[in-house]
Structure 1
Amino acid sequence: MRTLAQTETEFAPPAPAPAPSDTGLGAALRSQFPILDQEVNGRPLVYLDNAATSQKPRAVLDALSRCYAEYNSNVHRGVHTLSAKATQEYEAARAKVAGLIGARNCREVVITRNATEAINLVANTWGEQNIKEGDEIILSVAEHHANLVPWQLLAARTGAVLRHVRLTPDRTQLDMDHFRTLLSPRTRLISLVHVSNVLGCVLDAAYVAEAAKRVGAKLLLDCCQSVPHMPVDVSTLGADWIVASSHKFCGPSGVGFLWGRYEVLESMTPWMGGGEMIADVYLDHSTFAPPPARFEAGTPAIAETIGMGAAADWLRSLGMDRVHAYENEIGSYLYERLSAVSPRVTVYGPKPDAPRGRASLCAFNVEGLHATDVSTLLDFAGVAVRSGHHCAQPLHRELGVAASARASAYIYNTAAEVDAFVEALQDTIKFFDDAHGGAA
């Protein structure tokens, strides 16, 4: 039986990545996030759960406060001053989101509760109208449950067939060779993740968009892990729809958006009925407003939408190219430091020098330890990471594990925090090894 000491001696860690400068973007932004200035369990908070939800800068907190303190009112239809102001700010937020993603027309942005609702909206409108028995929908084994379950429900109702892109043989990203074999004249929809919330791999969206056009299929991209972290320009992306959630790009929770090509949105029937989405209502029938109002029944999340707009504005003020460049640095540093901890640590997904790079997140496991135990001990050290299947159970089955821990960095994280995480992980491994009399 090999001892831990023997294994560690034979383990040749990769050359360390250069640490991002602590005088760079991460350190410069921290003062704008009040929640980061606290201790957890007597240790300075190291927040590395950004793929689940991001923290909010003062610009967003102030926008929420002003809404409730200065002009809280329902939007649209009201003629009084507060309603006019609320409507102006609400619609300005839509325009700010459109600006963040390069939309040609703010009417292409539909406000939803989150990305999950946005996908369900497409499935229950365009899907119900266009997917028939025998039609094929291409997904992947790496999808978030939000991009699997709505299509499963649609397939059950319509008799459509689901096809799933496999992982590459090294299990680091989606296999585009396999994707090609799934395309056929029966393909009606391709719905894929732009950046995986587990593997961190980045989809070749241009290639997929071109393939979709060749077979006459529509393309939806789950951009929850791309919109916050890199430039996303829907005018060149090639998708027919994208979805994202505000809480992942420094905005409030409970709100997100669907972007769709306007001509596609116009072809879609309403999903939910009620106020706001109508043109005229009679006792036995109704006519409906044009997009996006057609898909926004009822009183919306007004303050949250305004906060989402403030987040979009704040990110644009930084510059998404600058955000992406810094995340490449901090993400590479996180990957290299974590990979060098021990040969017992497996980090999933491609290396940072992969052709399309990788996101600034690392899902990982430590051989012999459960991901939740690892995450719990890290929390005792003030380090917040996530554990579980990250709403990607099929992907974890493909990886041969029930769960993983995940450390995910964002623009306000620093190299010093990565170092603190790695030190706490080393202490965690040692704690469990000592408790079990050493690793086998």
Structure 2
Amino acid sequence: MDIKGIRELFPILNQEVNGHPLVYLDSAATSQKPVQVIEAVEQYYRKYNSNVHRGVHTLGTLATDQYEGAREKVRRFINASSMEEIIFTRGTTTSMNTIAQSFGRENVGEGDEIVITYMEHHSNLIPWQQLAKQKGAVLKYVPLQEDGTISLDDVRKTITPQTKLVAMAYVSNVLGTINPIKEVAKITHENGGYLVVDAAQGAPHVRVDVQDLDCDFLAFSGHKMCGPTGIGVMYGKKHLLEKMEPVEFGGEMIDFVDLYDSTWKELPWKFEGGTPIIAGAIGLGAAIDFLEEIGMDQITAYEHHLAAYALEKMSEIEGLSIYGPRKSEDRAGLVTFNIQDVHPHDVATVLDAEGIAVRAGHHCAQPLMKWLNVSATARASFYLYNTEEDIDKLVQGLAKTKEYFSDVF
């Protein structure tokens, strides 16, 4: 990979923050955008801004072609069998809530089990909490191993014939753990259940093939994979989506409206009520083009390299605790950590003064923080535009942080 050439495509990286060259290590929260994506969104607004599916004029046709073209790019990117299986949403959170309140509400009953893990982001936890309360279902958790991974033996013990839904992150946004989704799907289906995959941290970093994984639903967000904010994807197997009712009603998703009843459009549009996120979808399509030109396998390999380098360098810092798998091949490109006796918010503040952007807090994963026996952590997350030099600067910044607080106390 030509990292220097890739970095030049991200205008935001060419600046100083607090008098230092920007080192952006918060891509797990949101990734930066290459010029191709910025220009694709700009061109829509400059040259063919129009609503889709409705008008027969030239601009409307151009917008519709680009919007539906983006859907085909998503289908190809995750290897769905049909464009009808690709629903555009506002993001992973919207997708998960739609699955819970449409498929879950119709298929989960009193006493049924919903299985998740301790590592889930709140967007893949709270919808299932609420569904369990609504339906009188039982919420169960797959336990974690000491290193923050799950064992398939525990998965087999937790999932039973009473399990209706299993919801699991492809990649943990805190631990970096890459979960064995394909194997979990097999166990889920053997017990008659359905698997929902949160791929918000997976789709940007590893190759996703929904047919090979055999998941029933999968969701991800554009802004974490070089695309715009406000656009996401809900994938579902066609035969399941066809039986599901929409949860948002209005224009665009209807077929026929009478005074007292209405019917819905066919897939995928019955789930896309109102004016859709046109510019966002077009930008996501451009992001997919960008990632595929580089190659997802190359991106994955490079991030494993960065993770290995970061683990090696950061492990040398006395008093620094690292959470999650210690083998780089078992984790995505992020490292979550704490410095002894220094609050992670203070760590992030000192690093910011050096131009280094990391995330601090509970990362929308409070049950996992409790499992880790901490209130918060700091997190450095890497993407295809980061370098070993970025990690070196992080390590130097952490050394300054330790020195500063040792002087203070």
Query: Which 10-residue stretch deviates more, 205-214 or 373-382?
Result: 205-214
Give me the whole-angstrom Cα distance separating, in 1, the residues matched to 2:388 and 2:406.
Answer: 27
Match of 2:193 among 217, 237, 246: 217
Give me the whole-angstrom Cα distance separating, in 2, the residues matched to 1:399 and 1:284.
Answer: 53
Task: For structure 2, list consecutive stretches of 5 or more residues without a partner in the other structure.
Answer: none
- 1:401 aligned to 2:374? yes
Q: Is the 8 A contact 1:172 1:201 kept in 2?
A: yes
Give me the whole-angstrom Cα distance separating, in 2, the residues matched to 1:419 and 1:82.
Answer: 49
Give me the whole-angstrom Cα distance separating, in 2, the residues matched to 1:352 and 1:100.
Answer: 27
- 1:143 aligned to 2:143? no
Give me the whole-angstrom Cα distance separating, in 2, the residues matched to 1:418 and 1:184.
Answer: 44
Q: Deviations over 1:256-275 (max 9, x none)?
A: 00011111111111111111
Residue number in structure 1 paired with 2:100: 123
Match of 1:69 among 30, 46, 61: 46
After TM superposition, list the pairs within 5 Å mapping 1:164-313 onto structure 2: 164-168=141-145, 170-313=146-289
Give me the whole-angstrom Cα distance separating, in 1, the residues matched to 2:317 and 2:4.
Answer: 25
Give me the whole-angstrom Cα distance separating, in 1, the residues matched to 2:151 and 2:182.
Answer: 15
- 1:162 aligned to 2:164? no
Residue number in structure 2 paired with 1:4: none
Residue number in structure 2 paired with 1:340: 316
TM-score (norm 2): 0.98
Give me the whole-angstrom Cα distance separating, in 2, the residues matched to 1:98 and 1:126.
Answer: 21
* % identity of equivalent residues: 46
Match of 1:382 among 355, 362, 365: 355
- SS at structure 2 position matched to 1:365: strand
Q: Is the 8 A contact 1:171 1:399 kept in 2?
A: no
Give me the whole-angstrom Cα distance separating, in 1, the residues matched to 2:5 and 2:310.
Answer: 19
Query: Which 10-residue stretch deviates more, 93-102 or 387-396?
Result: 93-102
Give me the whole-angstrom Cα distance separating, in 1, the residues matched to 2:13 and 2:56.
Answer: 41
Does the C-alpha gap of structure 1 residues 309 and 392 become closer, same or farther in structure 2, counting only changes over 3 Å? same
Q: Deviations over 1:191-241 (max 9, x none)?
A: 001100011111111210110111010001100111001111111011001
- 1:93 aligned to 2:47? no
Residue number in structure 1 paired with 2:385: 412
- 1:370 aligned to 2:343? yes
Residue number in structure 1 paired with 2:298: 322
One-letter amino acid of the structure 2 residue matched with residue 359 of structure 1: A
Give me the whole-angstrom Cα distance separating, in 2, the residues matched to 1:45 and 1:280.
Answer: 53
The root-mean-square deviation of aligned C-alpha atoms, in Å, is 1.0
Larger radius of gyration: 1
One-letter amino acid of the structure 2 residue matched with residue 306 of structure 1: I
One-letter amino acid of the structure 2 residue matched with residue 89 of structure 1: Q
Query: Which 10-residue stretch deviates more, 397-406 or 316-325?
Result: 316-325
One-letter amino acid of the structure 2 residue matched with residue 375 of structure 1: A
Residue number in structure 2 paired with 1:34: 11
Give me the whole-angstrom Cα distance separating, in 2, the residues matched to 1:328 and 1:106.
Answer: 32
| Offset of residue 80 of structure 1 | 0.6
TM-score (norm 1): 0.92
Q: Deviations over 1:368-396 (max 9, x none)?
A: 11000000000000000000000000001
- SS at structure 2 position matched to 1:32: coil
- 1:435 aligned to 2:405? no
Q: Deviations over 1:128-149 (max 9, x none)?
A: 1111100000011110000111
| Offset of residue 113 of structure 1 | 0.3
Give me the whole-angstrom Cα distance separating, in 2, the residues matched to 1:131 and 1:28.
Answer: 50
Q: Is the 8 A contact 1:137 1:163 kept in 2?
A: yes
Give me the whole-angstrom Cα distance separating, in 2, the residues matched to 1:302 and 1:82.
Answer: 13
Residue number in structure 1 paired with 2:396: 423
Give me the whole-angstrom Cα distance separating, in 2, the residues matched to 1:214 and 1:205.
Answer: 14
Q: Is the 8 A contact 1:25 1:326 kept in 2?
A: no
Residue number in structure 1 paired with 2:34: 57
| Offset of residue 100 of structure 1 | 1.2
One-letter amino acid of the structure 1 residue matched with residue 149 of structure 2: Q
- SS at structure 2 position matched to 1:191: strand
One-letter amino acid of the structure 1 residue matched with residue 241 of structure 2: L
Task: For structure 1, list consecutive stretches of 5 or more residues without a partner in the other structure.
Answer: 1-23
Q: Deviations over 1:98-140 (max 9, x none)?
A: 1111112122110000000000000111111111100000011
Residue number in structure 2 paired with 1:80: 57
| Offset of residue 163 of structure 1 | 0.3
Residue number in structure 1 paired with 2:332: 359
- SS at structure 1 position matched to 2:8: helix
Give me the whole-angstrom Cα distance separating, in 1, the residues matched to 2:381 and 2:6.
Answer: 17
| Offset of residue 26 of structure 1 | 2.7
One-letter amino acid of the structure 2 residue matched with residue 197 of structure 1: N
- SS at structure 1 position matched to 2:330: coil
- 1:48 aligned to 2:20? no
| Offset of residue 174 of structure 1 | 2.2
Q: Deviations over 1:287-324 (max 9, x none)?
A: 11111101000001111111011101111111111111
| Offset of residue 175 of structure 1 | 3.6
Residue number in structure 2 paired with 1:10: none
One-letter amino acid of the structure 1 residue matched with residue 240 of structure 2: V
Q: Is the 8 A contact 1:255 1:304 kept in 2?
A: yes
